[in-house]
Amino acid sequence: MVVWVGYLGVTFDYVGLQTASGFGWTNHAGAFMKDAPQRYATIRDIYLRHEATHRGQVINTIWSSIPDMQKATGQTYPELSETVQSLSFTLIASHPVGYARQVATAFVGFWKGLSIDKTWNPLGTLTGPIWRLCRYLWLLVSFCFVVVVLGLLATRLHLIPLPELPSPTGWMVLTVLISGILQALVEYGSATRFGMPTQPFVSVVVMLALGAWVTGRRRQQRPPTP
């Protein structure tokens, strides 16, 4: 990773994991683009023009805007990415409430599970119903995970007694929550895909909690030893 970042820095004078990362911030900042400072007028006007062609949709509007922005500014792809990132940070800083609202929306979207392209139907007419069933099941698992997290928090605060879970549970919970928060801070509009890598952790935490609850219930119902 360090070698790759160094290569981008030496070759393109850009520090980051990819030269396109600056453009992604417009999914958060695009909603505030009309308030961009005058020094960004060229980029602002081009973006707003493309936004109008997308019926006011700001998510991923930047990608169709890039060629026109490069022509108008004379900047290379990495240079333009850095400029757009700077513009986005400026807009986010001047709209903290709107940004916080979008972060909250993205965090909720992290748990919703992926939808599918309507043209993708390997099982014919059964594809849609089966996928919806899987998604509803995942929403149920996500809800159970939230309940488990609240239960763990309540236990830590000594509000309610709950069975102790295996030690890796806490690390898995932290991994999921931190991933959800970080992606929400950076990305807006496609949060569900970032939830995919953490789904195994969510499922394992729920199963561990369910197993601990069932074991605890059996112990309570077991007759006392004479």
Distances in whole angstroms, Cα of residue 51 to Cα of each of 45, 197, 212 = 10, 31, 51
pLDDT at 111: 82
pLDDT at 44: 94
User: Which pTM value belongs to this model?
Assistant: 0.77
pLDDT at 98: 94
pLDDT at 36: 92
pLDDT at 71: 94
- Domain boundaries of the chain, sorted by first residue: 2-94, 124-221
Please report where in the chains the tokens 């806490």 appear, as a residue. Answer: 170
Distances in whole angstroms, Cα of residue 108 to Cα of each of 86, 142, 182 = 27, 11, 13
pLDDT at 6: 58
pLDDT at 34: 93
Q: Which stretches of the chain drop beneath a pLDDT of 70?
A: 1-18, 113-120, 191, 216-226
**Which segments of the chain are extended strands (E)?**
none
Amino acid letter for position 59: I
Are the C-beta atoms of 201 and 176 separated by less than 8 Å?
yes
Cα–Cα distance, 219 to 225 (Å, whole number): 12
